[in-house]
């Protein structure tokens, strides 16, 4: 019998949690061949979320919870949930029922029988979201797709069921600033996407303010790309080129450089050189920043025929 760990980050979700538990517990009844555990992570809620989690854990022994000392953010809650999970498969779900529980059955079927390491929900639309947020999110995903060499498209969220191997490799990434969408993409593994429609959250309010979304976007870009430092270099090169072109054109067309043109060229040139070297410095700093994360150099999906085999492989070899 497989075990599926359902990891649910919760921040002030007293209104949404009872409905979430009811619907999800109902949906997992239909899954054959697997049992479930719920791992709720109370991310420093100030409402009655901890009390609800306490009563759920008393009522149903499949429910466990962890309470943070303060609000550390959804990414930290997902990490803690994963660290404390013991399932053969793990799935992240939001507490507000925006991730449909009825997809769990299909996700399990895909990871179990189709050979995928991960089955993820692909949100097809942004129903129930403010126009401004949709616009900014779309723009952000366009930018991040261009500048980070990773697959982080719009609609590719955290709602995904993954194998233990993939979950363990996510846990190997111990960086403090965790941008989960980037991490999923960084660790790789075969993922099947199943589309679903967005719905409004069942109860409570979104925890994202404009400011926190902006922070999240900047964190995402800085965690996985040194493009901003490269951009400074490009801007520097453009300024140097502009200085040279202005000087050459003025000299060619008017025979000499007057004081004001010379001053403009000098300002452009010096600023350009400065920006260029700031960018060089930025590249070194960003390399050091990436090194400090101590990310694994590679991630192994399967290993066979080596003397130091994992338990699973050893068992496989003995059987042969």
Are 239 and 233 in contact by the 8 Å Cβ rule? The answer is no
Tokens at 1, concatenated: 């019998």
Should residue 71 be labelled a site residue for ligand UDP when binding is judged by CB under 6 A? yes
- 307 C-beta neighbours (distance < 10 Å), count: 4
Should residue 313 be labelled a site residue for ligand UDP when binding is judged by CB under 6 A? no
Question: What is the contact mask toward ligand UDP in residues 144 to 183, using x (rule: CB under 6 A)?
Answer: ----------------------------------------
Should residue 230 be labelled a site residue for ligand UDP when binding is judged by CB under 6 A? no
Member of 5, 65, 73, 144 binding ligand UDP (CB under 6 A): 73
Should residue 220 be labelled a site residue for ligand UDP when binding is judged by CB under 6 A? no
Member of 85, 94, 155, 196 binding ligand UDP (CB under 6 A): 94
Nearer to Mg ion, 145 or 201 (CB): 201
Member of 13, 14, 37, 96 binding Mg ion (CB under 5 A): 96
Member of 139, 177, 208, 266 binding ligand UDP (CB under 6 A): 208
Should residue 201 be labelled a site residue for Mg ion when binding is judged by CB under 5 A? yes
Nearer to ligand UDP, 74 or 112 (CB): 74
Q: Which residue is listed with tokens 């050893």?
A: 314
Are 163 and 118 in contact by the 8 Å Cβ rule? The answer is yes
Are 186 and 150 in contact by the 8 Å Cβ rule? The answer is yes
Binding to ligand UDP (CB under 6 A) within 231-290 occurs at none
Should residue 117 be labelled a site residue for ligand UDP when binding is judged by CB under 6 A? no
Angle at the Cα of 40 from the Cα atoms of 9 and 154, rounded to 5 degrees: 30
Q: How far apart are CA 273 and CA 180, in angstroms?
A: 37
What does the buried/exposed string (b/e) look like for 243-266 if buried means 16 or more CB atoms within 10 Å of the residue's CB? beebbeebeeeeeebeeebeebbe
């Amino acid at each position: 019998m497989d075990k599926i760990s359902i990891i649910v980050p919760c921040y002030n979700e007293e209104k949404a949690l009872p409905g979430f538990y009811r619907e999800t517990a109902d949906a997992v009844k239909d899954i054959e061949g697997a049992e479930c555990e719920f791992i709720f992570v109370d991310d420093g809620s100030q409402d009655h979320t901890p009390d609800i989690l306490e009563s759920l854990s008393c009522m149903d022994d499949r429910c466990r919870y962890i309470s943070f000392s303060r609000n550390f953010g959804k990414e930290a809650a997902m990490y803690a949930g994963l660290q404390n999970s013991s399932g053969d498969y793990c799935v992240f779900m939001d507490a507000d029922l925006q991730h449909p529980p009825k997809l769990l059955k299909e996700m399990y079927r895909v990871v179990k029988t189709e050979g995928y390491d991960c089955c993820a929900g692909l949100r097809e639309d942004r129903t129930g979201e403010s126009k401004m947020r949709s616009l900014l999110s779309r723009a952000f995903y366009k930018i991040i797709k261009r500048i980070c060499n990773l697959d982080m498209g719009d609609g590719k969220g955290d709602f995904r069921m993954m194998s233990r191997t993939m979950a363990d490799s996510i846990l190997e990434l111990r960086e403090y600033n965790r941008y989960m969408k980037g991490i999923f993409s960084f660790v790789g593994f075969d993922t099947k996407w199943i589309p679903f429609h967005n719905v409004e959250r069942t109860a409570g309010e979104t925890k994202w303010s404009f400011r926190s979304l902006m922070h999240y976007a900047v964190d995402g870009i800085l965690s996985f790309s040194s493009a901003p430092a490269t951009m400074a270099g490009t801007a520097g090169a453009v300024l140097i080129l502009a200085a040279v072109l202005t000087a050459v054109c003025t000299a060619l067309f008017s025979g000499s450089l007057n004081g004001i043109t010379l001053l403009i060229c000098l300002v452009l040139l010096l600023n350009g050189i400065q920006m260029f070297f700031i960018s060089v410095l930025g590249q070194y700093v960003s390399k050091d920043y990436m090194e400090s994360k101590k990310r694994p150099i590679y991630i192994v999906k399967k290993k066979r025929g080596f003397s130091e085999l994992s338990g699973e492989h050893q068992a496989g070899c003995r059987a042969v």
